[in-house]
Structure 1
């Protein structure tokens, strides 16, 4: 009797297992079919969106414009999207098993040591590098200055600013106009550019005192575009679309790095040292000036975040209501963040004008604001070392990919997406002081 009972129970278990396996297979088949449909739709949308950009390209052959077709990149992009969408459920199920390379967290002391080491290396490097490399390094230093300035507004105070390039433009045009009409030198105009940009930041702070999040971003974006349009329209003052040219380079205590002195009886750098003239002298000097401005900006911001105003920025970023409850005035805190961030942008703008020798409105488009914001976000909001590394990466990598000029923005977008998946907090997020209680 017991044997018959056991046999019956075993048969019931076999039937149950078979039914469960059948249900699991049915569910998997349904999910696969549904996912196959989603993958096909996604790949079709990819073809529609990328065909005008990658598949059809205009090319000049003599005096005739020819429309060339390049469908291979389109099909590759569609195939990549199809495979990704098809394997997406497997990746989601096994995402806990996927281990991306980790970046060790650095405390404030180690980050400070690394920054000082980078500054020392940066002082020695231009004397052994090529002229083109030094010029790219100077551009990276400009973005470091701008990134550190925007880091005050976005990283420390938590205010999303999409019109930061407007302050950058104000600094550049301030130096150009003061030199053109009053003959002031670069070193005389540098604090003036920071001061004028700070005034613009202070004025912008008032309309956005009660705005947060997306609304704040829209208003600041409009401010950046208003500055660019005014620079285009006020042709009698700013030169309109042509801009202002002939902006002189900075000097070293009045010593010029040109082939001949601009004034009679003057002596240039190579004449004083008794060496042959080389255009690389000015390139290296501009790099060292930019490095000095970076060191000054790092010192200024590192001191500010340790002062009460820096703690107030962090309180505002974390919770504005709690900030009010601590008897802190959000109005003054926001104005201080916008003002100081704009002043640093003015320094970068004045140096940019001196380096280029020309400023025009097309140098200060929204793309510049987006790139500076990407430096702050990818580096880690509130992290000085992260901003430095992100600015170097976003400046150097496009130069290394010059053979892929047509796909540079596509590669840039892909890198940003991968960063958001791999490390959304940024390369080196700011290390906040904390206390761990013993268990």
Structure 2
């Protein structure tokens, strides 16, 4: 227990160190606005990826509706902060988005996750499209109530409470919640269902209940990311949350490794940096999508399981290697 606490504290200290490093660079003017935008979008993508990885990589379900849940959070924040434009209002809008998302996820998850097969993928793809159509057909005038989504034109002038610091904090908190869930007894049950659902049920596991729980938690993280996205970008349109957005999130998960939380981190960071370079280097900016696609293809050829597969970057192994190296050095000195 104490050893695990040591490793968990090490991860937390690393997160604090990274935060302080970015803060110092920002304070002394070494962090440009473009780089800050890239870091913020990476943070949002990490939240999206770890949530989807929980559904796909750890519970073994296939979801194509992550963008739809993201849209719920984004529009909840966009609409509610028009009414209550304070920081408290912003935080409440995140909770409202999460609440609505949980209800929608339960409505979709309970009937579909009772069935074996890829029914969840079809259902989530359908619900994401329904959400997008409802948003497009919403009232244009935001003063007309909670069903005013701005229509196809979207919502502009959203309050900008989600700076990089807020996004970073939410990224860390979301990751801690999901990591603790995975390492809890319920999380181990989720993993057992992924490996062999029939055997898990034979041991008395209510597979539907556990799968729904993992699905709802993953969907809720997408809603949080959507709220942060809306507040940071300050402009949202229904097209931001189409099918291709779900594919983008899926690419991050597959790129890092299905079933690896740290893989999702690594993939979101690398793909975010690659996107930043391709957008801002004039010589290759016109070929951005081609280079991006080629990079993904190369990774999939040489690392079909993703960068980390199902492995995790481990503080425990790092400490063991450091300790082993120290012992070897001591023996050499003798």
Query: Shared fold (TM-score greater than 0.5)?
Result: yes
Q: Is residue 2:159 matched to residue 1:248?
A: yes
Deviation at 1:126, TM superposition (A): 4.2
Select 2:262's aligned residue among 378, 385, 390: 385
Deviation at 1:343, TM superposition (A): 1.0
- Quote the Cα distance in structure 2 between the aligned partners of 1:379 and 1:109: 26
SS at match of 2:174: helix
Select 1:202's aligned residue among 85, 106, 130: 106
- Quote the Cα distance in structure 2 between the aligned partners of 1:207 and 1:410: 40
Q: What is the aligned partner in structure 2 of residue 68 from structure 1?
A: none
Pair 113,408 (structure 1): closer, same or farther in 2 beyond 3 Å: farther
- Quote the Cα distance in structure 1 between the aligned partners of 2:6 and 2:129: 40
Pair 112,158 (structure 1): closer, same or farther in 2 beyond 3 Å: farther
Deviation at 1:214, TM superposition (A): 4.3
- Quote the Cα distance in structure 2 between the aligned partners of 1:340 and 1:114: 22
Deviation at 1:241, TM superposition (A): 0.8
- Quote the Cα distance in structure 2 between the aligned partners of 1:183 and 1:293: 20
- Quote the Cα distance in structure 1 between the aligned partners of 2:156 and 2:124: 28
Q: Is residue 2:96 matched to residue 1:192?
A: yes
Pair 173,379 (structure 1): closer, same or farther in 2 beyond 3 Å: same
Query: Mapping of 1:1-400 within 5 angstroms?
Result: 113=10, 116-117=13-14, 119-128=16-25, 129-181=31-83, 183=85, 185-236=89-140, 237-250=148-161, 286-400=163-277
- Quote the Cα distance in structure 2 between the aligned partners of 1:297 and 1:158: 20
Highest RCO, 1 vs 2 (Cα 8 Å, sep ≥ 6): 2
Deviation at 1:141, TM superposition (A): 0.4
Contact map agreement 1:126 1:134 (CA 8 A) in 2: no
- Quote the Cα distance in structure 1 between the aligned partners of 2:94 and 2:149: 18
Deviation at 1:140, TM superposition (A): 0.5
- Quote the Cα distance in structure 2 between the aligned partners of 1:222 and 1:112: 41
- Quote the Cα distance in structure 1 between the aligned partners of 2:249 and 2:115: 22
Q: Would you say how many aligned residue pairs link Structure 1 and Structure 2?
A: 293
**Larger helix percent:** 2
Pick which of 108-117 and 224-233 moved more: 108-117
- Quote the Cα distance in structure 1 between the aligned partners of 2:163 and 2:200: 42
Q: What is the aligned partner in structure 1 of residue 301 from structure 2?
A: 421
- Quote the Cα distance in structure 2 between the aligned partners of 1:374 and 1:158: 16
TM-score by length of structure 2 reads 0.80
Q: What is the aligned partner in structure 1 of residue 332 from structure 2?
A: none
Deviation at 1:358, TM superposition (A): 2.1
Contact map agreement 2:38 2:272 (CA 8 A) in 1: yes
CA RMSD of aligned residues (A): 2.5
Larger C-alpha radius of gyration, 1 or 2? 1
Pair 325,385 (structure 1): closer, same or farther in 2 beyond 3 Å: same
Pair 157,116 (structure 1): closer, same or farther in 2 beyond 3 Å: farther
- Structure 1: gaps (5+ residues): 1-106, 251-284, 434-439
TM-score by length of structure 1 reads 0.62
Select 1:430's aligned residue among 310, 314, 323: 310
